Amino acid sequence: DEAERILFCGWRRDMADMINEVDQDAMPGSELWLFNAVPMHERAERLLDKGNKAPLQLKRLRLRHVVGNPSSRRELVSLQEISDGSAPDAAGGDAVMLGQPTGRRVMLSYFTSILILSDCGMGEADQSGGVERDVEAADCRSLATALGIQDIQKATVLRQQALGRKLEPQPPTVEILDIRTARQMSLISEGYVMSNH
């Protein structure tokens, strides 16, 4: 059994619970990368869920951070790690200030598994559509992220094949909120789960 390299695209209110679950099952030395639009200075506070959660005390996982838009193909191509204030620079030197790039970049092929979270409530505020519109928007972001990842993975496989190398990337698992989106998702991927977020 080897250490895992997991990518979570998106953010959920119960992110701390999800991270703790992964920490319990992961092999020591595993990495969990959080790629979402939540600014670094807000992440620690959000993980505490307004004081309802204890601070994370991870035993097996090392958290890594990327700030950006997971549904942007351009941003998915190369993920730039952002410091949480404790991360050393890419050369192993001193800790980099909170929110600053560490100098480390990784490609999607680096990850052993990818989970796309529903990101419900993370979009633009819209007073006219309420919850249903928010669910649709979250599913649209998840679908766009899944398509972008699959496109990048296919291009990477073709490049590796041209070099005589074999690469079998893991398709992303996508959290879907609306049954109508699940039907669309089933046309492009088997890796989705329905959630009652």
pLDDT digits (tens, 9 = 90+) for 70-93: 999 999 999 999 988 775 666 666
Q: What is the pLDDT of residue 42?
A: 92
Q: What is the mean pLDDT of residues 49-68?
A: 91
Question: What is the model's pTM?
Answer: 0.85
Tell me which H or E stretch contains 141. Answer: helix 130-162
Tell me which H or E stretch contains 157. Answer: helix 130-162
Q: What is the pLDDT of residue 114?
A: 96
Query: Rounded to an integer, what distance in angstroms lies between the CA atom of residue 107 and that of residue 77?
Result: 6
Query: Rounded to an integer, what distance in angstroms lies between the CA atom of residue 43 and that of residue 194?
Result: 26
Q: What is the mean pLDDT of residues 180-188?
A: 73
Arithmetic mean of pLDDT over the chain:
85
Going from the C-alpha of 29 to that of each of 1, 8, 32, 190, the distances in angstroms are 11, 17, 10, 29
Query: Rounded to an integer, what distance in angstroms lies between the CA atom of residue 140 and that of residue 19?
Result: 24
Query: Rounded to an integer, what distance in angstroms lies between the CA atom of residue 33 and that of residue 107?
Result: 12
Radius of gyration in angstroms for the set of CA atoms belonging to the chain, rounded to a whole number = 17
- In the chain, what are the helix, strand and coil shares in percent, each to the nearest 5? 35, 20, 45
Q: What is the pLDDT of residue 124?
A: 45
- Structural contact between residues 109 and 96, judged by C-beta atoms closer than 8 angstroms: no
Q: Which residue has the tokens 């972001």?
A: 141
